[in-house]
Chain A
Amino acid sequence: MATIIVLAGDKGGSGKTTSSHAIAHGLAMYGVYAFHISTDPRREILPSENRRYATLDGRDPKTLGGIIDRLQAMDRAIVLIDGGGGRPDVDRVLSNVADLTILPFMQSQTDLRVAKADLDRLPEAVGLPNRWPTQKWAREVADRELAEELRGYIDRLMSPVPEINGYVSLLRDTGAVPKINPSCKQLGLRVLERLGLSVFSLATEAPESAIA
């Protein structure tokens, strides 16, 4: 069975799309067979040409269902599903196909409040502090706000992803710039570990069933 990871969250611009591509790219760098499915009707599908993972169009529910069923049958594949903000009902349904649901959020009161509501609504999801400050005092402020707003949810948070220079290249036709490879690989590994998986159990020659 393929492993499915859903990037969800009600708040727009929290990094769902970017993080989902980052994870797919990072894992593909390890030779993992990765797929990215966009379900956001407001976004065009990014082309596969310059990527090491396939980008699929899951904007139509029927097509998405068909894609999922096909990918489910593939043992070593990792599937990233990008939700799209402002659709709590869709998030809830999508999280039901997921092995892991990740809720990225950035450093703002709104993000924190929305993240809290999302964590309540999706009891199996984990929060991912994204674009998290690294500068000492800014980080202290951010951490303090997080600790206050998400008291009681701390165990459901992943370690933060910092501001990554060049991350935006993940959403371009030309694909990821090499300098972000280490960050993407690291994030990919952290996600695998959350799932109790490793690149050893996934990285292999591509399953023939994927393309047959």
Chain B
Amino acid sequence: MRSRKLSGVELARQLEGLTNPAGGATTQAEPDKLEPTQEGEVQPPSPAEAIFSSQEAEVRASTTQGPKPRTSGQGKARGGRPAKAGTDGMPVNVRLSQADHLALARLAGKLVVPGRPMPTVQDVVRGIIRGALKEPELATRFCRQQDS
């Protein structure tokens, strides 16, 4: 293992020092793998993103508008954005604030059992819902508390 590694700050400085950090042409990029982007669409933050400060999120939000991913005509949207609806037409994604995502990530971390796979965010949310169904009074109280 290397002993001396660049710090993140130094990495950023060096990357910005490159003439074209965003990168030139790829040798044989497959155009069908490039995802179309819809204007003005904001992705919900992933739990991981919630780890980072909102300040960084702002930097990110402002810079990702820079080099737009190329689009390949009417290709179907995939990658990058959660599906709007499942096969049965039910909505499958819920928009949460960064703070809520952070709470989810924290729960996921707490749920790790040594020797077992990391739970997915889906696992965590499913657990919360099932728990709420088992303890409806508690769940109702929590939800009501939120309103006040």
Contact = CB atoms under 8 A, between A and B. Distances in A.
Interface stretch (B110-118, B127-135, B136-144): B110-118
Interface stretch (A55-63, A128-136, A141-149, A152-160): A55-63
A43 B35 contact: yes
A12 B5 contact: no
Interface in B58-109: 59-60, 63-64, 66-67, 69-70, 78-83, 93, 102, 105-106, 108-109
B8 A67 contact: yes
Interface residues of A, number: 77
Given A41-B23, A86-B24, A171 B56 contact: no
A48 interface: yes
B56 A204 contact: no
B29 A85 contact: yes
A44 B80 contact: yes
Nearest to B107: A211
Interface of A: 1, 3-4, 10-13, 28-35, 40-57, 59-70, 72, 84-87, 89-90, 93-94, 96-100, 110, 114, 124, 171-173, 175, 195-196, 203-208, 210-212
B145 interface: no
B42 interface: no
Given A45-B80, A69-B7, A87-B23, A31 B30 contact: no
Interface size class of B (residues with CB under 8 A): 35 or more
Contact of B21 (A10, A61, A110): A61
Nearest to A17: B33
A14 to B, nearest CB: 9
Given A13-B28, A55-B46, A97-B11, A44 B35 contact: yes
B29 A41 contact: no
Among A60, A69, A173, A196: residue with most chain B CB under 10 A: A60
Nearest to A51: B120
Nearest to A81: B11
Contact of B12 (A40, A44, A62): A62
A49 B63 CA distance: 23
Given A63-B56, A87-B23, A90-B18, A31 B112 contact: yes
B27 A11 contact: yes
Given A45-B80, A48-B121, A89-B18, 9 more contacts: A43-B69, A50-B120, A50-B121, A52-B119, A60-B59, A61-B21, A68-B11, A86-B26, A210-B105
B129 to A, nearest CB: 15
A171 B30 CA distance: 14
A39 to B, nearest CB: 9
B14 interface: yes
A196 B99 CA distance: 37
A49 B46 contact: yes
22 contacts: A30-B117, A33-B112, A43-B69, A44-B79, A45-B80, A47-B81, A49-B93, A55-B48, A56-B48, A56-B49, A60-B59, A62-B16, A66-B56, A67-B52, A69-B9, A84-B26, A85-B26, A86-B25, A87-B24, A90-B18, A173-B79, A211-B102
A28 B48 CA distance: 14
Contacts of A61: 11-12, 15-16, 21
B71 to A, nearest CB: 11
Contact of B60 (A57, A65, A87, A173): A57
